[in-house]
Amino acid sequence: MKRSWNPSLWIGFVFAILGFFSYIFFVQFPITRDFPWANLLLFAFGAIFLAVGLKRAFGKPDTYRGKIFGSIFALLGLGAFAFFSFIVFYELKQLPESKGAPRVGAKAPDFSLPNEDNEPTALANLISSKAPNGKPGAVLLIFYRGFW
């Protein structure tokens, strides 16, 4: 007897792969980036479908296919989830403590650095010069990793 197709395994695998690669899209929005719930949800759907598919494949091996490729899909999905978790919950948090960074109430260390036109730009000048609207100057310093 020809065993029937086991679509749960395929759907679960697609969800797991989507859960992984969709981070490229979701990372653009703070709401899905600060905590990656959208990706975790996709992984969860993947896990459910894969579990259902595997249960069928192993529980009724005479009726359903997928014992071998289902296991491979599940392993790949698990691997994608593990790698995703490693990156998002571990790798991205490997930051120096910066205990010596200027605290609230401390003077911001002065500096002079070239801007994109190679003109020196000093913090002291930014602060002392009045803003275009005449208000006393305030400065937001954004340190960032660079574009590479």
Partner 1 sequence: MRSFQQRLSDFDKRGIRVVAISVDSPEINKRQSQKMHYTFPLLSDADTTVIRRYDLLHAGGGPHKENISRPGEFLVDATGTVRWRNLTENIGVRARPDEVLAAFDRNVSPGD
Tell me which residues touch partner 1 (CB under 8 A): 27, 30, 33-34, 88, 92-96, 98-111, 113-118, 121, 123-124, 126-127, 130-148
Closest CA relative to residue 124, chosen from 140, 108, 135 = 108
Residue 120 CB, nearest distance to partner 1 (Å)? 9
Nearer to partner 1, 2 or 103 (CB): 103
CA distance 46 to 52: 10
Nearer to partner 1, 68 or 139 (CB): 139
Residue 17 CB, nearest distance to partner 1 (Å)? 21
Q: Give the C-alpha distances (Å, rounded to integers) separating 65 from 12, 36, 53, 59, 76.
A: 15, 33, 9, 11, 18
Nearer to partner 1, 4 or 112 (CB): 112
Burial label for 13, CB within 10 Å (0-12, 13-18, 19+), is buried
CA distance 43 to 80: 9
Nearer to partner 1, 5 or 35 (CB): 35
Residue 46 CB, nearest distance to partner 1 (Å)? 22
Residue 55 CB, nearest distance to partner 1 (Å)? 36
